Structure 1
Amino acid sequence: MHKSTLRTCLTATLSLLAFGAFAQQMDSLSFIRSKRMSDDDLAKKREGTFVTGLPDLSSDPVTGFGVGVKTNIIWNGRRDNPLFAYTPYLMRLRANAAYFTTNARELTLSLDVPYYKGTRWRYRLDFKAQQNPANLYFGSSEATLGRLRLPSDPNATFATYAEFDAARKTLRPGGPGEAGEVTDALSNRFRETEFMLNLKADYALGKGRWRVMGGYEIQHLSYKTFQGTEADATRNGEATTAPNGTSLLQRDAQQGRIFGLDGGWVSILQTALIHDTRDFEPDPTRGVYFEAANEFSNPILGSQFSFNKLFFQGRAYQKLPVGKRTVLAGRLGAGTIFGKEAPFFEFQDQWSPDGSINALGGRQSLRGYRANRFLARSLAFTNVELRVRVADVKLGKQNFGLGVAPFADAGTVRDRWQDLGLRDVRFSYGAGARIAWNLSTMLYADYGLSKEDRLFYFGIGQNF
């Protein structure tokens, strides 16, 4: 046989064997075929291992202006890897550190390994250490849906946050246990110190659209209020300082309205059922995401608290035949907490395997209201965004997608989940800018408006 013929046969044989191995591997990965990225996004996805890091210049109306660093080490593998077109990455290590003008500080580490070695398992490990003295508290019942009220005088109400903030700083005579003359500038604030470790694993069922998840989290929490602390004040319109009066959180704890102000150890067992057909998790163009998530805490797990939190969330993404990349994105969520003495800090967020959501108010829910503006045992909310890609820019090996995102938010809270409905719904709206950096890293800037406030946020990550 001629050498060239032999070489051709050998090449063909090796190609067939390679194709057969590839086909066999893809057959074993059939459970994620529905999650294939669009051809346009796939062409921009970068091969190999790379680092995205940038100064963390963020702004939030509550925690203030923040500086720090946000980094991602992303392992994407080679383009010929069968997983390349179906996963956002093979593995991602995220390390963030930030310091804010309110003296808040945070360190987070997060490891995410989807479809570990081509199997149905996904593993996540998260660690957080943070201290935030700028947390807000306006109450813990559906009464927070009313107008803003002074902690020291519930009969004094205000239509806007600016009016409310000015009134809090006005000096008043001190009451029992207070100084002779006090301010309420810090009476709606408290400091939280948290150390948290979380381990999660989920398993893809059937064709991969459904997953079951289990996890364990342990936290240590401590709290401080600011009564007696020297704070800003005004006397006859002139700026001065004075001791802060009794905080609203402290008053509610003394009256038995809330529990958990002393902090302590929280041990939690987490479970979830997830349905996910998104094509690209960091910034989807199509698909749906649904979850039923539960957190159970009890002394039998070593916890100092007993409660059960249930949260349902649905998201949908639809690419529209307008422009380069126009996506209509929507989310609907509802949750409740069971347990007569559930700690107040568990009212402040809803746990989700895809990232917890602060409730209700702030960047993650109602962007025209301050974080925790509306707080009660049960809540429901919705968000809608129109994500329009305006241009794509390539600088060296870096790809940037520039876009805008007008949005609308709505939500409400109730003391009982049976009472959730369309009564007393609060609305906010606004617009934002988006920058997709190498597809996987999203930069955002949002301006939210409501009848009570005007708020600006910027940082990293899609809202949902």
Structure 2
Amino acid sequence: MKLRLCLVASFTLVASGAFAQQIDSLAFIRSKRMSDADLTKKREGTFVTGLPDLSSDPVTGFGVGVKTNIFWNGTRANPLFAYTPYLMRLRANVAYYTSNARELTLSLDVPYYKGTRWRYRLDFKAQQNPANLYFGSSEATLGRLRLPSDPTTTFATYAAYNAARKQLRPGQPGEAAQVSDALSNRFRETEFMLNLKADYALGKGRWRVMGGYEIQHLAYTTFQGTKTDAVHPSTGEETTAPNGFALLQRDSQQGLIYGLDGGWVSIVQAALIHDTRDFEPDPTRGLYFEAANEFSNPIIGSQFSFNKLFFQGRAYRKLPVGKRTVLAGRVGVGNIFGERAPFFEFQDQWSPDGSINALGGRQSLRGYRANRFLARSLAFANAELRIRLADVQLGKQNFGLGVAPFADAGTVRDRWQNLGFQDVRFSYGAGARIAWNLSTMLYADYGISREDRLFYFGIGQNF
């Protein structure tokens, strides 16, 4: 007999007898059940979480904006209520940063559409960021920091390196008479992106296959010749001067990187996913594994040709300590194939659960600047101990307060065959966490490495 589903205009699924019978027949729904403690805190109905977006990142600077989520949760009588983070979520974020970076993102997520095995996602992004960092695109970035104008001089800390870049120096052929290197490793990126994805749950639902398509338009500008901050080396007097050669521009001219002219990028995405997490926004138990691939080629309308392969594994285990103590870990390995793969694809790894900037920054090595280590292949690992200290009820709002000490490790190579445990970079630190109505996570992390001390705060779990 064919089972039917009833869907009301508010997108809330009605728990009819036939629908309940269908849910019972899908084993993958039962494997996703939330813990009883979290289930008691989950809100019913449709509600909005919106707050001023106050964030801080060492590269993009202090950010202000608005982050909003509209959740459609349904009622507790709904058979899906205990097994999904939401029936549907619409996210809209706008942000502006002191570095003059700005971003607009829209995201629609519909898990288990109409109680079926299908999940649909739609993402749109428009952003401009003049504060991107570039230190090189090979495993040589694992070495100490070096000035583009004087690669023989190295620096143990980012603070010393940053101070040296501002020193006035005589211009080389093609530069002004006196120049500064303050913006030598920065560039501006302008991006418009639209992404469509769908995945289907296999068997008991622990495995899913995903397919997607993404179209981007990218444009890049360096600051070669732009007037910037400078310091007179003998007097310490602050002044201004034209910026010297940009490292990214120099590498492009020498044929070390491709893609500086930007253009259209057309990508077909595919992934195999294994997921047993109990609650996606903030799991207490379960495993997550993915093998993700992006393919770009002129035959699908792209101006670039490359293939990116990324493997990621995560594990979550609730410990018998305190109210809610979770040990969380992640390992990721990726490689970019294609002799002329564009440099901008080295900067992140695509994941169906959210792309990961690599290698350095909040998502990978929190004690190093974003893109500090960049090459064709990379491997990294993260571990966090997420300790819930208290739960606070303010009106209808529930807030879970906690801390999260962490440790990160990672490395890069020019060939995936050379990935190993040599030249690994480490960082560590601790963070605070606030779980707002379970689904919205606020974070504040302080990362430490032998090169830097960095502070971040914003919205969302690291993994």
Q: TM-score, normalised by structure 2?
A: 0.96
Question: Which residues in structure 2 correspond to 1:177-192 (within 5 Å)?
Answer: 177-192=174-189
- Matched to 1:343, the amino acid is P
Query: Taking every aligned residue pair, what percent have the same amino acid on both sides?
Result: 88
**Could you say which residue in structure 2 is the equivalent of 1:8?**
none
Q: CA separation in 1, counterparts of 2:29 and 2:144? A: 49
**Could you say which residue in structure 1 is the equivalent of 2:422?**
423
Q: In 1, are the aligned partners of 2:20 and 2:79 still within 8 Å (CA)?
A: no
Specify which of 218, 227, 232 is matched with residue 230 of structure 1: 227
**Could you say which residue in structure 1 is the equivalent of 2:364?**
365
Partner deviation per Cα, 1:118-151 (whole Å, 9 max, x = no partner):
0000000000000000000000000000000001
2:456 is aligned with 1:457: yes
Deviation at 1:29, TM superposition (A): 3.1
Q: In 2, are the aligned partners of 1:288 and 1:315 still within 8 Å (CA)?
A: yes
The alignment of Structure 1 onto Structure 2 pairs a total of residues equal to 447
Q: In 2, are the aligned partners of 1:48 and 1:75 still within 8 Å (CA)?
A: yes
Deviation at 1:23, TM superposition (A): 4.8
2:208 is aligned with 1:216: no
Deviation at 1:22, TM superposition (A): 6.2
Calculate the aligned-residue CA RMSD, in Å: 0.9
Deviation at 1:30, TM superposition (A): 2.3
Q: CA separation in 2, counterparts of 1:427 and 1:368? A: 8
SS in 2 for 1:407: strand
Q: CA separation in 2, counterparts of 1:19 and 1:132? A: 49
Deviation at 1:203, TM superposition (A): 0.1
**Could you say which residue in structure 2 is the equivalent of 1:271?**
270
Structure 1's consecutive aligned runs of 4 or more residues displaced over 3 angstroms after TM superposition are 18-23
SS in 2 for 1:177: coil
Q: CA separation in 2, counterparts of 1:328 and 1:80? A: 32
**Could you say which residue in structure 2 is the equivalent of 1:60?**
57
Q: In 2, are the aligned partners of 1:90 and 1:113 still within 8 Å (CA)?
A: yes
Q: CA separation in 2, counterparts of 1:64 and 1:321? A: 39
SS in 2 for 1:184: coil
Structure 2: stretches of 5+ with no match in the other structure = 1-14
Deviation at 1:281, TM superposition (A): 0.1
Question: Which residues in structure 2 correspond to 1:19-34 (within 5 Å)?
Answer: 21=18, 23-34=20-31
Q: TM-score, normalised by structure 1?
A: 0.96
**Could you say which residue in structure 2 is the equivalent of 1:324?**
323
**Could you say which residue in structure 1 is the equivalent of 2:253?**
254
SS in 1 for 2:31: helix
Q: CA separation in 2, counterparts of 1:309 and 1:116? A: 29
Q: In 1, are the aligned partners of 2:275 and 2:286 still within 8 Å (CA)?
A: yes
**Could you say which residue in structure 1 is the equivalent of 2:282?**
283
Q: CA separation in 1, counterparts of 2:16 and 2:147? A: 71
Question: Which residues in structure 2 correspond to 1:299-378 (within 5 Å)?
Answer: 299-378=298-377
**Could you say which residue in structure 2 is the equivalent of 1:292?**
291
SS in 2 for 1:311: strand
SS in 2 for 1:328: strand
Q: CA separation in 2, counterparts of 1:391 and 1:130? A: 37
Inter-CA distance 23–222: structure 2 relative to 1 (3 Å threshold)? closer
2:153 is aligned with 1:153: no
2:108 is aligned with 1:123: no
Q: In 1, are the aligned partners of 2:23 and 2:115 still within 8 Å (CA)?
A: no
SS in 2 for 1:35: coil
Q: CA separation in 1, counterparts of 2:151 and 2:19? A: 69
Deviation at 1:19, TM superposition (A): 9.0
- Matched to 1:185, the amino acid is A
Q: In 2, are the aligned partners of 1:32 and 1:209 still within 8 Å (CA)?
A: no
**Could you say which residue in structure 1 is the equivalent of 2:407?**
408
Q: In 2, are the aligned partners of 1:141 and 1:375 still within 8 Å (CA)?
A: yes
Deviation at 1:24, TM superposition (A): 1.1
Deviation at 1:176, TM superposition (A): 1.4
Question: Which residues in structure 2 correspond to 1:71-150 (within 5 Å)?
Answer: 71-150=68-147
- Matched to 1:307, the amino acid is F
Inter-CA distance 118–20: structure 2 relative to 1 (3 Å threshold)? closer
- Matched to 1:371, the amino acid is A
- Matched to 1:45, the amino acid is K
**Could you say which residue in structure 2 is the equivalent of 1:398?**
397
- Matched to 1:98, the amino acid is A
Q: Larger deviation: 22-31 or 278-287?
A: 22-31
- Matched to 1:179, the amino acid is A
Q: CA separation in 2, counterparts of 1:457 and 1:361? A: 13
Larger radius of gyration: 1
Q: CA separation in 1, counterparts of 2:280 and 2:92? A: 19
Q: In 1, are the aligned partners of 2:168 and 2:178 still within 8 Å (CA)?
A: yes
Deviation at 1:454, TM superposition (A): 0.1
- Matched to 2:216, the amino acid is Q
**Could you say which residue in structure 2 is the equivalent of 1:44?**
41
Q: In 2, are the aligned partners of 1:287 and 1:316 still within 8 Å (CA)?
A: yes
SS in 1 for 2:38: helix
Q: In 2, are the aligned partners of 1:326 and 1:386 still within 8 Å (CA)?
A: yes
Q: CA separation in 1, counterparts of 2:200 and 2:375? A: 33
Q: CA separation in 2, counterparts of 1:194 and 1:222? A: 7
Deviation at 1:177, TM superposition (A): 1.2
Partner deviation per Cα, 1:85-117 (whole Å, 9 max, x = no partner):
000000000000000000000000000000001
Deviation at 1:231, TM superposition (A): 0.4
**Could you say which residue in structure 2 is the equivalent of 1:206?**
203
Q: In 2, are the aligned partners of 1:91 and 1:113 still within 8 Å (CA)?
A: yes
Q: CA separation in 2, counterparts of 1:23 and 1:362? A: 45
**Could you say which residue in structure 2 is the equivalent of 1:440?**
439
- Matched to 1:131, the amino acid is Q
Deviation at 1:59, TM superposition (A): 0.1
Q: CA separation in 1, counterparts of 2:16 and 2:300? A: 51
Deviation at 1:166, TM superposition (A): 0.2
Deviation at 1:25, TM superposition (A): 2.9
